[in-house]
Amino acid sequence: MAYSDKRSGYGRNGAQGTGRSGRYGEESRGSRYGAEDRPRRGRGNAPASGNGKGRDARQKEREAGRKAAEAAKPAPVAPERAPLEDELPYIIMGRNAVKEALRSGRSIDRILVNKELDGSLRELVNMARDRNIQLREADKAKLAALCMPFGHGSKPGNHQGIVAQVPGVEYCEVEDILAVARERGESPFLILLDGIEDPHNLGSILRSAECAGAHGVILPKRRSASVTAAACKASAGAVEYIKVARVANLADTMRQLKAKGLWLAGADMAGTPMTQADMKGPLGLVIGSEGEGLGRLVRESCDFLVSIPMAGHLDSLNAAVAAAILMFEKRRQG
């Protein structure tokens, strides 16, 4: 019985408790927040602000304002399409590359050179004047903007203060390459590239081919880098001396070369070690792509495969490095 009377004080009807009929009971609510003083929040009733507009009306006004603001915004501009490789202006950038272009007698439209001339730049300017080539001064920002498509990431190509604008690379026919070998009285030595897509690798291969005495390089028109300004820069001017042909079907071209008496050696890790392979005489050296190597049809069209003996933990080389090693092994054998 100790709690019976007190429990009644927390009941709904306890006069002495703090139930709803007490401090927070219906009578108190009626006097403090009663229906006669409290505005009801019914959907159709006027709000407490007294502006005469209901919630639906305000919502419609906000929606109309949002649509008007969106209509006033300028239409989004579509991003500019990146220029295709063949649409880029053909330039020769870098001091060595420009020097070789001047020495070879290549056609040059104009040369843009930094205003601040040092010794080697002054020499190139004098060579250009001797050939009556148009010269224009340009600051570093303009040269960098011109070379931006041929750089890495957000950095422009390394112009070294001079850029030559030229009509474009002149590809030849495969027969033109064979004619060079006949003129020199040498056995044909050709480099065939199957899917080299990095222009810097292409430029490096062109440089090695020129130094190793190859008569020309053959590229497929599809799935292959072309001789752009980046490739020309990487070749250090070798593109001015070695012939480059582009063909529609590399496997068909290989069959035609074999009919003309050339042996075709494909670079492959499963091939015969290069020092044991017979690479003498008329030869076409076939280099595969950076990632996948030789394609199936190209591999099957080769007469034999050659490999580079490896001594380290890795089992492959960069395509341009492997090509250079095999080229000079061919040159050693004769």
Nearest to 194 by CA among 279, 305, 112, 105: 305
pLDDT at 174: 96
For the chain, give the percent of residues with pLDDT over 90.
41
Sheet holding 134-138, edge to edge: 91-93, 162-165, 110-114, 134-138
Rounded to an integer, what distance in angstroms lies between the CA atom of residue 82 and that of residue 50?
A: 59
Amino acid type, 85: E
The neighbour count for residue 105, using CB atoms within 10 Å, is 9
pLDDT recorded at residue 44:
47
Asked if residues 241 and 267 have their Cβ atoms less than 8 Å apart, the reply is: no
Q: What confidence score (pLDDT) does residue 146 get?
A: 84
Q: Which CATH superfamily is domain 85-165 in?
A: Ribosomal protein L30/S12 (3.30.1330.30)
**Check whether domain 174-333 has CATH 3.40.1400.10, yes or no:** no
Q: Tell me, what's the pLDDT at 23? A: 44
Q: Helix, strand, or coil here: 246?
A: strand
pLDDT tens string 42-88: 444 444 444 555 677 777 777 877 777 776 665 554 444 444 444 45
Q: Could you state, in order of their start, the residue ranges of all structural domains in the chain?
A: 85-165, 174-333
Q: pLDDT of 256-286, one tens digit each? A: 999 999 999 999 999 999 999 999 999 999 9
Q: What is the pLDDT of residue 75?
A: 55
pLDDT value of residue 254: 96
> One digit per residue, pLDDT tens: the chain, 334 residues?
444 444 444 444 444 444 444 444 444 444 444 444 444 544 444 444 445 556 777 777 778 777 777 766 655 544 444 444 444 557 888 899 899 889 888 888 889 998 888 888 999 999 999 988 889 998 888 888 888 877 777 788 888 899 998 876 778 999 999 999 999 999 999 999 998 989 899 999 999 999 999 999 999 988 888 888 788 888 888 888 899 999 989 999 999 999 999 999 999 999 999 999 999 999 999 999 888 889 999 999 999 999 999 988 887 888 999 999 999 999 999 8
Residue 287 parent element (H or E) = strand 283-287
What one-letter code names the amino acid at 224? S
Confidence at residue 316, expressed as pLDDT on a 0 to 100 scale: 81
**How many Cα atoms sit within 13 Å of 193 on the Cβ side?**
34
